[in-house]
Amino acid sequence: MDKPRDTFILVRGQYDQHGEKVSPAVPAFLPPLPKDAPANRLGLAKWLVDPSNPLTSRVVVNRYWQTFFGTGIVKTVEDFGSQGELPSHPDLLDWLAVEFREKGWDVKAIVRLIVTSATYRQSSGASQELLAKDPENRLLARGPRYRLPAEVVRDQALAISGLLDPRIGGPSVFPYQPAGLWEELMARSDGDQFTAQKYVQSHGADLYRRSMYTFWKRTSPPPSRSAFDAPDRETCTVRRGRTNTPLQALVLMNDPTYVEAARKIAERMITEAGASAVPEDRIAFGFRLATARKPTPEESAVLKKIYDAQIAKYRSDADAATKLLAVGESPRDSKLDAADLAAWTTVASTILNLDETITKG
């Protein structure tokens, strides 16, 4: 606007109760806006990245560090003030912040710097003595190990199965969700309805888009995401909690997304492990897809035992096999024997449930 409108403090937040007139500025306890900067959003942007302001780059690199190590150099990534924790490695934080700023705020460069460092590339294995001395790995004596975020758990399962749709951008999508959940939570006693009252599931490729594209209603967040500690988005959250509950295992075993992903992984185990593959080869193929390593002989034997039990079950109960293979909208490979595919689906589901599959490290 050529002439910006007047802005007032609203008394008790009421739009028609104007209080003191105010103008654009930054908090008085922080450095002022640059002298040549206009008092608008452009001026604020210049102020944020001004060399005299060290906070922006420190906060940003600390959040990237949290992304890769599970915990920031300053653990309280949401609070760099007097109530926050002191950095575990202050010199490292200073150096990363300056490096980020002097390299032109290049995100790819700072990410590459962190993930190619000797500190990040350490093994996550640790002795009992070291775990007792440094249970949270604040001293960085081992590689990071932590449960994947909720969105990544889902995206990983879809990627392993070959279902993930990698398209970038576009409208939000509506993946699988328990029927009637929105209706139960959104209905009002007086009969009126809020917007987005009815959940209309997506179909086709939209079902398998990355989790970041899921339509999110704050009063009814996706339950499978909530089970893995995804924030409800009522407030901004930069440091998520991590829990380990039986509900997470139940989601991985029963949610249509993961049952369908297990079926598609099973199809890959049968068709891509080799024409003459024995069960152990198929197990090794699926295990490596999920964990990036081959199973030990003991692990392979356990999974082979599961397969033997399941193939016997589904040979004697064709209806159960058909019911399992019908979960999800993606078509199953009709060329494959139903009982055999159902048995391998159970093995694949077991692999998806491994701690190692959903844990980074």
Contacts with 38 (C-beta within 8 Å, 6 or more apart), sequence order: none
pLDDT value at position 304? 97
Structural contact between residues 50 and 33, judged by C-beta atoms closer than 8 angstroms: no
Q: Which two tokens stand for residue 342?
A: 């159902």
pLDDT value at position 31? 84
pLDDT value at position 103? 93
Helices (H), the chain: 41-48, 55-69, 90-102, 107-115, 128-133, 150-161, 181-186, 223-226, 246-254, 256-272, 279-291, 297-316, 318-325, 338-352
- pLDDT exceeds 80 at position 199: yes
Q: Where are the domains of the chain?
A: 7-48, 55-133, 251-360
pLDDT value at position 192? 55
Structural contact between residues 219 and 186, judged by C-beta atoms closer than 8 angstroms: yes
Q: Which of 90-104, 267-281, 342-356 has the lowest mean pLDDT?
A: 267-281
pLDDT tens string 43-80: 999 999 988 888 999 999 999 999 999 999 999 999 98
What's the pTM value of the predicted model, to 2 decimals? 0.86
pLDDT value at position 61? 97
Mean pLDDT over all residues of the chain? 92
Position 297 confidence tier, pLDDT thresholds 50, 70, 90: very high
Give percent above pLDDT 90 in the chain: 76
- CA-to-CA distance for 207 and 176, rounded, in angstroms? 7
pLDDT value at position 191? 53
**Cα–Cα nearest to 215, from 231, 201, 226, 205:** 201
Contacts with 61 (C-beta within 8 Å, 6 or more apart), sequence order: 93, 96, 97, 100, 110
pLDDT value at position 82? 86
pLDDT tens string 299-339: 999 999 999 999 999 999 999 999 999 999 999 999 999 99
Instruction: Quote the distance between the C-alpha of residue 33 and its chain's center.
Output: 36
Give percent above pLDDT 70 in the chain: 97
Kindly report the number of other CB atoms within 10 A of residue 68's CB atom: 14
Average pLDDT over residues 91-104: 95
Query: Running DSSP on this structure, what letter comes out for residue 38?
Result: -
